[in-house]
Amino acid sequence: MKLQKLYRTSTIDLFSIVTQTEMPIPFVDEGISAGFPSPAQDFIDIAIDLNKELVRNPSSTFYGRVKGDSMRDMGINDGDLLVIDRSLVAQNGKIAVCCLDGDFIIKKIKIEKTQCWLIAANQNYPPIRVTAENEFLVWGIVVHVIKSF
């Protein structure tokens, strides 16, 4: 995956994607046991292209690198790479990259009858109620998180 820096904020770096490139990587199709070991394969002859696996809508998909720990209890940590799809509709319970009063933030969307809340996944961060006074946009929906160990 090739990344081209698009926008930098204090909470996320956004990157456009380049899907014209391919890089097939060997893939263990039978699954990898998390319990007792299974017989090892002598060779792997199947390949996977992560662009094809992770990007459903290339023209509306971006990557973003997380800065901060407000979503850590959902397994989204500082430095993780997000796959963000701008073509998806914001729905209750989805994790979204939002632009709130000029700042990009990553939060879980909570939609009530007359209100919208942005909920962190870390008790150190209070919920944010979006009001008519806020400049607010759901920029995209997080569809995948890529982690490094």
Q: What is the DSSP string of 44-96?
A: ---EE-HHHHH-S-GGGEEEEEE-SSTTGGGT--TTPEEEEETTSPP-TT-EE
CATH tag for 2-20+45-146 (out of 1.10.3720.10, 3.30.465.10, 3.40.47.10, 2.10.109.10): 2.10.109.10
What is the rounded average pLDDT of the residues 126-148? 95
- Return the percentage of the chain with pLDDT > 70, whole number: 76
Give the SS3 label for residue 107. Answer: strand
Residue-range domain boundaries for the chain: 2-20+45-146
| Contact by Cβ (8 Å): 121, 105 | no
CA distance 67 to 106: 10
Active site residue ranges? 70, 107
CA distance 88 to 82: 15
33-68 pLDDT per residue, tens:
666 665 555 555 677 778 888 889 988 999 999 999
CA distance 59 to 95: 20
81-130 pLDDT per residue, tens:
999 999 999 999 999 999 999 999 999 999 998 899 999 999 999 999 99
Backbone angles phi, psi at 84, to 5 degrees: -120, 125
